[in-house]
Structure 1
């Protein structure tokens, strides 16, 4: 039995400090992360432990404590364990962590090159602010000492860049992303053929499970005209965060690296970090290169298990104070986020102030308001008169309710002067109107300094006027602009701007159909632009049903503050929305998967941050959970859950009871509706089969569900409902938990420490009293307990089968099932010739016509058979089979249903 090796650290005064010796491990350190089961929402992570507190050390308010003033509410605590595979650890919070070796003649490769890296990143594709993360390179910008670099771009594409002269860059990017799952180990490789023999150069990319291979080509080679070379720089070879670059960092374990002169050529460097002594700060690799670690990089076998905050400190002591201790219960960031009930404001209200307007009035005030508040410091309220009804119109997706304005109503407020002064400015407003005015109607007007002292925007059916008056009050500019009826249909955004250069003022007016197209007109006049002094608008008498909002003045002409925010970011994907929201709120966040492959969202309405993030989860169908490497959140996109290789393979003999199949109706949903706010709905019903809406014994009866999702369009709803029906009618027993005692099975530790929410665990070698395996289970979450002698984890699981989806042209997952097939006659337990009839068809492929498509597996009565040949081309055919592929062998009666064991299933 192996004794656990936990390390408990507390952030004391901003520094992570080892407090392991202060933990009572006899009571254990217990952790709960993720979801409690299939379909549940993630609860905040919880950690319980008890600290020794001699002399009141952990009594946060005790003046004599050595930690007085340095710990308190929400002090972070984290734990890691040893026993994983040794690797070079590059922490996410150390953006300069690296291993490097100095320049050497063997590294001065100017011709063909072959670079390889064996890595475990937290995310191969996801939320990278700067679009890529660094793997390795021989690349220094100072003094133009660029040779080459290897990066991984945001959607999981490998990028290889080189310089022929130390300054200018050439490069290539893989045509497809790496196949490695989030958090899984994988190797990547890039080769550069500087002269491919056809007056060009070729970069080819590869992937493999590890450095040992086998290597598979990734996508198509990237060939470019013109031969090339690599600059012979003096830069060191660096692994991890290159000193010269500012790309993203993430928690990264590097297992090994190779640099070869020539494709498959001589090794110039080959650090194998798995073979190094834990804690070593330098070593020499097999090629003779001396490597040095810097800036937080470490060779370690430790893996993080949790990071939490401690919201409560409750010192306890025995009578007389002989035993002083502090039980603490740490919570993940969801605990804090879930306590806040304040809804985030509308997308326009949140975004516009970040662009530093001179003045801004959202006009989202409540129904009883008599003036319009400004969130910009120093800007007075907008005074209104003559018929304003606040909070009456809520149809603009990017806004809370806006006012209705009666004809001849007025709004007025001073605009502060820009500092420093500016030679340009712009005025913006959104509006809608029930119908085009029959006569000229003033939509917006303001006063300014400069040549033109008063401006008016006047609109009526078919024409708009931009009017400007000089200091004497004379109308000196009256530009008629032809406009279409679309400016009086739905919500519009109006922007007017000026910019001055050399005594000429260029003015421009633009209308946007919010969520649609835009139209612009511009012209010039001689003079000065001045600045906006005051908004002073007397709305036209011909206006009927006018609604206005989000009036702003900027000291620049071009502003994109309204872009996308005006329609509530409708159409951005679930991952993109989660990234934007968490960045706006300063919440550490990691996206797993390609954001572009996720479901487009509907408008973002005012709600709490946590509810908005859960809308992303519900619409896309992925999993939102807490990061165990930092106090932050992770969203694992639905597409990353498809067709996973197991993160952990467990023989039945290495799990503890209970491991029991449960057939229940907890997750059955056979009548599913998905609807969209202010939109339509779609329904999917399973009409036939054992989990159908038919009454028993033909089905189970109706289990219905209706969920509103934030979809961008009604067209998404049918597929969303169909996918929910697929998950809700998956006909398989539920193994709801897998319990493992790691102190008894330490060989599992290296793989198990990498298992996280959404990963697949495969249980093999099931005993005969259980249904045949293997059983693939998706990890929903887990409780974990560490004591001084034991380490136990219990995975909460759901079936992994529903997440195996079709892949075009794949020999297994790309094969479609028939629309119904049965045994023509009964067969014995050992028969290898099986007569089948397909009704209504189509028939099965025959082995004479499609020999390369054999063998394939079919299932009859729970027995898996391998079809090695098929004769006949009609609906009646004969299979030659190998029996008992899954360990089940029994006779079957005529009419028994037969189907593909792995039929193609469409993904969402």
Structure 2
């Protein structure tokens, strides 16, 4: 197969139609993805190609076209190429699998050893089900559970099994897998059902591939008293998604799987998908199992899905050379076209909780009544309301305050309660309690408690319940605690629920920032349904703010979630996941170990700006999912200390590889602010890129970022991290160009690259600094011709992301505060006299050696350190990085790879 074997398909009437033969290849196919450079937002992916159109086949408005009515704007387009690794490919969002029927060889009831070689789009992240499947003989139908291997959202490996087909043992590795998103890796679980000590033992491992070598994942095994066994089910063995379950549809390439009877025993199933032919739908593995492919494919082709945003027919003189240039784009283009600001989190969530009546009260300042987004619900009639006067509630747009003559009235549309209960809920804020009893909510019902009035007094909350003759049934008073205060918002829940011959009444007050009070009491009779809101506010409540008044047909108070405080404190990844799901945008979240960035409240804004808030606060990358019209958010933690996805010698690059030592991204004085919160500043005051005037520094390069994070305590760390990135003293290599048609062996690694991945360039020429050069991929442009394929990667330095790793020989060492050569050395000297100018002296412990230092650009390996005081004697191996030179006295001495603390 010639590289790139590029194809173009259009989705017409739900079917992918190959139109490659009509593409003008002399005009090329162009495809770009990712972002142009570090620090910028991702651009929509873009593709362009030209179709021959002599008969009007691709003229969407031509009734004679076989595709008439189907070639619309945003028609799905699929570009694909060959040359990638053969694998069982299950795209994001698709339930796919390879399956083999149950047979006696698969009926393992004792020790088991399960191994899988996988490349998932994300090893860990945020999903709706907290895990995704790899392989299993497991069915919930008729309780046919045997065992299953999965990966959890936190990146740990999970193994579950059942001894009886029903009850399930679920255990996970103690630490996550060491793989980055999209990195190939092998995982393994072994279960010893009887470890000889009256218990069972479960152990997890990882390896680069099934060929090993295997490293235990975590230092501890899972060991429990009491022996166990595995149920002999009749269900099929499935690789990929397990049919009877509904776990997250994480895209993955599965290369091979082994199931062994006994730990290290004989293989009873071992499908090797990399050995199959393109398009295989059924095959037998070496163990004799016959596999069928369902809603997946065995392929070496990889796809890029876009939407055709422009069809522009063209023709020459006399109607010859009729063509249609097509422009296609990723989903970010459509999401950014004419997007209006999303409503507040409360106004978005509460109407979806099936209220029979709901009024946000987020109306404009000139409003005289409150509208309802619920069909059939009349407006709330109000008097003496000052709309849009207070925007301090984190989950709401501006809400009204009331005056001394405030009232509100509305009839509730007729409804029935399937649970014989109801909920009346609203949000309020009051600075001080009234001196005398003051009503703030009154409702009418069809129940025994025909009228219910809530009051505040200086010390109490008072609930008065009246019967149909307006006779007081009961008056319940509860100490009001701290249900008030300047700037404090509370959500209030009043529920009534039938309980035998009684009605249980619940009053709940919850501070939107946490904490609250609740009280319960009962009256004889039935709750009925709510018919009216009929409130005359006490005059002493003037200045009270309120909003999001609703009536619900059940007593379930779980309507709020965290929408009342704007989901303050949720992680950046969780917010992107929630927003995307609310807006029906497919998304995959990739996250790694470490602290997630906690976000501040979500305020009304456009969807892309809200996504951008998460991306900027976290420092991760939001980009388009190439397999579908969706998104992928890669959190900051996945960018740390990665192994290179691609290693390429300089000689295989297309010229030129040009370093750029400019000040485009230089920032040495950085301030970070939190909206409505505090700020912090970080400044580099000494060194080559400091704020000192040249030649001691570069002068001041300052900026300010407003980042929507949760707490003031976060901003100092963010400022210091941004300073670290803005003063990284390394040449930039903005573009790296590769002729993939010339070096086709690079295709599998190159086509798997995504924004945030690391590439390494080796074997550098003498006119460049000694390497290797590690670069982070930001995006790319690809050009396809019939027999040509060129990719130009946009890159940024990877060095700032090589953060400290505990116990790592290279990344786990703290650097000196200050050290220099006590005397000059020749280019071949192997003994150095090193003086410590600041901080503790260098370690002399043999266990801490060898380690690398950098002196004047030359990397040396230290094999011995002697001396209990400064200066100390270093024994070194010279010119480790190929630099051969002499060094003068007072030359700076540093670790070659000092520890960098992560944010």
TM-score range, shorter chain: over 0.9
What's the counterpart of residue 865 of structure 1?
A: 860
Would the aligned equivalents of 2:3 and 2:83 in 1 still touch at CA under 8 Å? Answer: no
Distance 2:125 2:532 in 1: 46
String of CA shifts for 1:703-722, please: whole Å, max 9, x gaps: 00101000100000000000
Distance 2:876 2:469 in 1: 99
Distance 1:562 1:734 in 2: 48
Instruction: State yes or no: 1:886 paired with 2:886.
Output: no
Distance 2:588 2:144 in 1: 33
Instruction: State yes or no: 1:698 paired with 2:696.
Output: yes
Distance 1:470 1:99 in 2: 66
Distance 1:467 1:232 in 2: 63
Would the aligned equivalents of 2:3 and 2:82 in 1 still touch at CA under 8 Å? Answer: no
What's the counterpart of residue 625 of structure 1?
A: 623
Would the aligned equivalents of 2:387 and 2:400 in 1 still touch at CA under 8 Å? Answer: yes
Would the aligned equivalents of 2:89 and 2:298 in 1 still touch at CA under 8 Å? Answer: yes
Residues 421-432 of structure 1: pairs in structure 2 closer than 5 A: 422-432=419-429
Q: Give the match's secondary structure for 2:334.
A: helix
Distance 1:530 1:675 in 2: 51
Instruction: State yes or no: 1:201 paired with 2:196.
Output: no
Would the aligned equivalents of 1:487 and 1:513 in 2 still touch at CA under 8 Å? Answer: no
What's the offset of the Cα at 1:595? 9.2
Aligned CA distance change for structure 1 residues 517 and 596 (closer, same or farther; 3 Å): farther
Would the aligned equivalents of 1:674 and 1:681 in 2 still touch at CA under 8 Å? Answer: yes
Flag structure 1 segments of 5+ consecutive residues without an equivalent: none
Would the aligned equivalents of 1:407 and 1:543 in 2 still touch at CA under 8 Å? Answer: yes
What's the counterpart of residue 217 of structure 2?
A: 218
Instruction: State yes or no: 1:409 paired with 2:406.
Output: yes
Aligned CA distance change for structure 1 residues 180 and 259 (closer, same or farther; 3 Å): same
What's the offset of the Cα at 1:594? 4.7
String of CA shifts for 1:730-780, please: whole Å, max 9, x gaps: 000001110000011111011111111110010000001110000000001
What's the offset of the Cα at 1:169? 1.6
Instruction: State yes or no: 1:803 paired with 2:801.
Output: yes
What's the counterpart of residue 462 of structure 2?
A: 465
Would the aligned equivalents of 2:432 and 2:484 in 1 still touch at CA under 8 Å? Answer: no
Counterpart among 534, 556, 564 of residue 566 in structure 1: 564
Distance 1:170 1:503 in 2: 43
Counterpart among 663, 668, 671 of residue 670 in structure 1: 668
Instruction: State yes or no: 1:897 paired with 2:899.
Output: no
Residues 62-101 of structure 1: pairs in structure 2 closer than 5 A: 62-95=62-95, 97-101=96-100
What's the offset of the Cα at 1:544? 3.2
Distance 1:218 1:568 in 2: 38
**4+ residue runs of structure 1 moved beyond 4 angstroms?**
none
Distance 1:435 1:92 in 2: 53
What's the offset of the Cα at 1:483? 1.5
Calculate the TM-score normalised by the size of structure 1: 0.98
What's the counterpart of residue 119 of structure 1?
A: 118
Distance 1:535 1:776 in 2: 66
Calculate the TM-score normalised by the size of structure 2: 0.98
Residues 627-776 of structure 1: pairs in structure 2 closer than 5 A: 627-776=625-774
What's the offset of the Cα at 1:486? 4.2
Distance 1:860 1:792 in 2: 39
Distance 1:228 1:415 in 2: 59
Distance 1:541 1:232 in 2: 73
Would the aligned equivalents of 1:433 and 1:544 in 2 still touch at CA under 8 Å? Answer: no
Flag structure 2 segments of 5+ consecutive residues without an equivalent: none
What's the offset of the Cα at 1:673? 0.3
Aligned CA distance change for structure 1 residues 825 and 2 (closer, same or farther; 3 Å): farther
Q: Give the match's secondary structure for 2:456.
A: strand
What's the offset of the Cα at 1:408? 2.8
Q: Give the match's secondary structure for 1:645.
A: coil
Q: Give the match's secondary structure for 2:748.
A: helix
Distance 1:56 1:705 in 2: 54
Distance 2:854 2:301 in 1: 44
What's the counterpart of residue 513 of structure 2?
A: 515
Distance 1:728 1:250 in 2: 35
What's the counterpart of residue 12 of structure 2?
A: 12
Which has the higher mean CA deviation after the structures are superposed, 730-739 or 402-411? 402-411
Distance 1:885 1:89 in 2: 42
Residues 11-30 of structure 1: pairs in structure 2 closer than 5 A: 11-30=11-30
Would the aligned equivalents of 2:495 and 2:555 in 1 still touch at CA under 8 Å? Answer: yes
Would the aligned equivalents of 1:813 and 1:902 in 2 still touch at CA under 8 Å? Answer: yes
Distance 2:405 2:469 in 1: 24
Distance 2:778 2:382 in 1: 55
Would the aligned equivalents of 1:841 and 1:875 in 2 still touch at CA under 8 Å? Answer: no
Distance 1:368 1:227 in 2: 73
Distance 1:321 1:151 in 2: 60
Which has the higher mean CA deviation after the structures are superposed, 639-648 or 657-666? 657-666
What's the counterpart of residue 826 of structure 1?
A: 824
Instruction: State yes or no: 1:434 paired with 2:431.
Output: yes
Would the aligned equivalents of 1:461 and 1:485 in 2 still touch at CA under 8 Å? Answer: no
Aligned CA distance change for structure 1 residues 896 and 677 (closer, same or farther; 3 Å): same
String of CA shifts for 1:3-38, please: whole Å, max 9, x gaps: 421121111111122111121111111011111112
Distance 1:284 1:422 in 2: 55
Would the aligned equivalents of 2:199 and 2:225 in 1 still touch at CA under 8 Å? Answer: yes
What's the counterpart of residue 298 of structure 1?
A: 297
Instruction: Please tell me the root mean square deviation across aligned C-alpha atoms, in Å.
Output: 1.4
Residues 546-565 of structure 1: pairs in structure 2 closer than 5 A: 546-565=544-563
Residues 68-467 of structure 1: pairs in structure 2 closer than 5 A: 68-95=68-95, 97-219=96-218, 220-293=220-293, 295-304=294-303, 306-385=304-383, 387-419=384-416, 422-467=419-464
Residues 597-612 of structure 1: pairs in structure 2 closer than 5 A: 597-612=595-610
What's the counterpart of residue 573 of structure 2?
A: 575
Would the aligned equivalents of 1:344 and 1:608 in 2 still touch at CA under 8 Å? Answer: yes
What's the offset of the Cα at 1:235? 2.1
Q: Give the match's secondary structure for 1:716.
A: helix
Q: Give the match's secondary structure for 1:320.
A: helix
Would the aligned equivalents of 1:576 and 1:595 in 2 still touch at CA under 8 Å? Answer: no
Aligned CA distance change for structure 1 residues 822 and 546 (closer, same or farther; 3 Å): same
Q: Give the match's secondary structure for 2:26.
A: coil
Distance 2:292 2:43 in 1: 42
Q: Give the match's secondary structure for 1:485.
A: coil
Q: Give the match's secondary structure for 2:99.
A: strand
Distance 1:278 1:563 in 2: 48
Would the aligned equivalents of 2:190 and 2:203 in 1 still touch at CA under 8 Å? Answer: yes
Q: Give the match's secondary structure for 1:907.
A: coil
What's the offset of the Cα at 1:90? 2.0
What's the offset of the Cα at 1:471? 1.2
Q: Give the match's secondary structure for 2:644.
A: coil
Q: Give the match's secondary structure for 2:602.
A: coil
